[in-house]
Amino acid sequence: MSSSNPNTTGGPSASTPAAVPTTPSASGTSAASDKLLMVRSVDLLKSKDGQNRLEHHTDAYFSDKLIVRRGQTFQMWVEFSRPFNPKSDKLQLLLKLDSIFSSNPGIRISVPLVDVLEDSRWEMKIVEQKDKRVRLAVNTLPTASIGRYKVTVESFSQRGRLLFPCTPNDIYMLFNPWCEDDPVFLDNEAERKEYVLNSMGRIYYGTEQQIGARTWNFAQFEQDILEACLFLLEKGQVAMTEWRDPVIVSRMVSALVNSNDDRGVLMGNWSDSFEGGTTPTAWSGSGDILRRYYKSSGKPVKFGQCWVYAGVTTSVLRCLGIPTRCVTNFSSAHDTDLSLTTDIYLDEKLELIKDETSDSVWNFHVWNESWMTRQDLPAGNGGWQVVDATPQELSQGSYRCGPTPVSAVRNGQVDLKFDTPFVFAEVNSDRIYWQKKPDGSLSQVHVEKNSIGQHISTKAVGSDARVDITHLYKYPEGSEEERIAVETASRFGSKPTLYPSPTVNDVSIEIVMDGAGPRIGGDAKLSIVLKNTSSKQRTASLLYEVMVMYYTGVLKDTVKKDRIPIDLKPQETKTIPWTLQYNEYMNHLVDQGALMLTVTGRVNQTKQILATQLNFRLRTPDLIITPLEDAVVGKELTVKITFQNPLSQVLKNVLFRIEGLGMQSIRMIEHGDVEKLETVTLMEKFVPTVSGSQKLLASMDCRQLTQVHGFADIVVKPE
């Protein structure tokens, strides 16, 4: 615990805090409560095996500093010159995030003392008081900027205000994959252990026929690595207010790990000579590279190639708390002209025209994927994002790439940011051979549709096995969905007329939902409506896929997919009923019962692409609240609350919360289990204290069913 010597925490001596005296009380008394409230010492409880570091999953960091994850509570002790009096004394923490660059204005946060902590707020409360010491629980924001915060304790009493800087005891704040309100939240503990806490990984190389693997030490918890990572963020010179956003931080890191335009960590070298530096194949981990860079105040380390860039990027992002993995793509295309194709030019004799063939195909290329929500994009694009620090092409003026949603690459949605066209071409471009004629015109002589993007690989969760994740990046080669993705993508490229466009667009498609939509526990019934506006018959094969989605827009997994053959007569409108049965989705649902239905297809006669998507949720039942008599101030009122379990499964550990009607605090009722389809009736008694129109709110919560609530308007009569 804390010592009475104020210098043990690096703060000023007790006799020299900065005091701002106020006028003494009129009576001139020198009672103990009137004395200045001086902070003698602060103990941030930062030991590796202590509660803070263990609860925040930061006990592996070599550092002896307090390292916490945002959106979570940490504890600290403050010792005063006299006992703290909650009635007349006040207390707050001042947190400062400052930059070494004067152009970056930094951040100031005041953390007030409150009686009850609420989620998603900067605030603190006293959880224990012993003599002159208090133990504080401090709540942090799940969207706070990450970084190294300087801490000052500010104490107020009737005699004045005092500041106690805790220098050099700073607090390091990181992203929090364990916190549901953090955009990097990952709901699987085994995956969190792998993609955040594991410091050893495997990186794949070679060719698609001969895949090699090397073990890499990410070293994200080693000495000086956290400091090196925060030093790197400073080099990005992005406003510290943006350090709260994993999209911006990962994009910044992809630029800073290469040295091309910002004197970042690694200098690339693809020549035969590595004089004056380390051969890229000689590195076996990121620790030495990051320490060298940090200790030299930012001198680029020689030399890197793609797997070294990816290894270092994994280290930096895992260290900062963003779940990240290394991914290897075999037969990886490098599209230089934004055509979204890999173009090879031949002369009349079918010999390669070298100076015109600038696109290339790498045997393998290693990049990263980081896990986060994408509130800046349409729903369904959260989850794994490609982040690539290997300098290949400029992106908005810097050598960087990503974060690119893997789901957008799969569907050919290359209009979505960031750098989706480039990543799409790496994994799914067609290799097109062009012959140049004497007049300079070009003709296609051959197309390879399935040679690019093979055996996309990453290390398995919890073992050293290789996992093939090609299916996350593209549909099966040659399938109709894969061809639609390629052609959809190419229309946004520099050669939009490369693939035959539809002759006409005379078929429309939409998904229709009746009324307020399906209820949880029942079958979800929607309709797919097709209209043929032409005077000719139209046929198509529709593919539908329905996926479970978190409320953040991150897709979890496919619940059901199938094909529907379509035959439309001239001028016909056809409504196809679509049903998702309860037993098909019951074991897949997450948080708020959100689903995404995607329907795609192609009209056989015209080659028109049909595509539509609908996000819908399974509605939860309401709680029915019924007052059983008139409400009168000071008189007991009985209220009936009714709830029916809509699911054919038991609800475990059901908790009801009731508030409103002028009550000062929430009433919690731990009900236990509710059997399948059972109806529960609660009889609750209240004594209204205020007359007039009031609301009574109730909610029910359990792991299997959320978002269940109800309210009643109750007019309370005066006595």
Q: What are the catalytic residues?
A: 306, 365, 388
DSSP type of residue 224: T
Task: For residues 354 and 360, give the distance between their C-alpha atoms in angstroms, rounded to a whole number.
Answer: 11
Helix, strand and coil percent figures for the chain, each rounded to 5: 15, 40, 45
Give the containing element (helix H, strand E) for 226: helix 225-235
Q: Which of 599, 611, 542, 539 is nearest to 569 (CA)?
A: 539
Q: In sequence order, which residues have a C-beta less than 8 Å from that of residue 389 and are 6 or more positions away? A: 253, 254, 255, 256, 257, 258, 266, 309, 310, 312, 313, 367, 368, 400, 401
Compute the distance between CA of residue 366 and CA of residue 363 in angstroms, rounded to an integer. 10
**Token couple for 355:** 């100076």
Closest by CA to 581, choosing from 529, 522, 496, 532, is 522
For 254, other C-beta atoms within 10 Å of its C-beta total 32
428 is in an annotated binding site: yes
Identity (one letter) of the amino acid at 52? N
Q: What are phi and psi of 36, to 5 degrees?
A: -55, 140
Q: Calculate Rg over the CA atoms of the chain.
A: 31
Q: What's 619's DSSP letter?
A: B
Distance, CA of 468 to CA of 472 (rounded, Å): 9
Kindly write down the DSSP assignment for every residue of 13-71, as one continuous string: -TT--EEEE-PPPTT----GGGS---EEEEE----TTSHHHHHTT-TT-S--SEEEETT
| Strand partners for 436 | 442
- As a whole number of angstroms, the distance between CA 545 and CA 559 comes to 8
Q: In terms of DSSP bridges, do strands 538-549 and 524-532 run parallel, antiparallel, or are they unpaired?
A: unpaired
Q: What does the DSSP 8-state code read for residue 522?
A: S
Phi, psi of 5 (to 5 degrees): -80, 115
Q: How many Å apart are CA 68 and CA 74, to the nearest integer?
A: 7
Q: Give the integer Cα–Cα distance in Å for 716 and 632.
A: 5
Alpha helices by DSSP H, 275-335: 287-295, 306-320
Is 482 labeled as ligand-binding?
Answer: yes
Element (H, E) at 156: strand 147-157
Q: What is the Cα–Cα distance from 658 to 682, expressed in whole angstroms?
A: 11
If you write DSSP's letter for every residue of 73-92 in order, what string do you get? EEEEEEEESS---TTT-EEE
| Residue 535 one-letter amino acid | S
Tell me the backbone φ, ψ of residue 708, rounded to 5 degrees.
-110, 120
3-state secondary structure 165-222: ECCCCCEEEECCCCCCCCCCCCCCHHHHHHHHHCCEEEEEEECCCCEEEEEEECCCCC
Cis peptide bond upstream of 303, omega within 30: yes
Please, which residues have CB within 8 angstroms of residue 573's CB and are 6 or more apart in sequence? 529, 530, 531, 532
The span from the first CA to the last CA of the chain, in angstroms, equals 55
Specify binding-site residues for Ca(2+). 428, 430, 477, 482
Specify binding-site residues. 428, 430, 477, 482
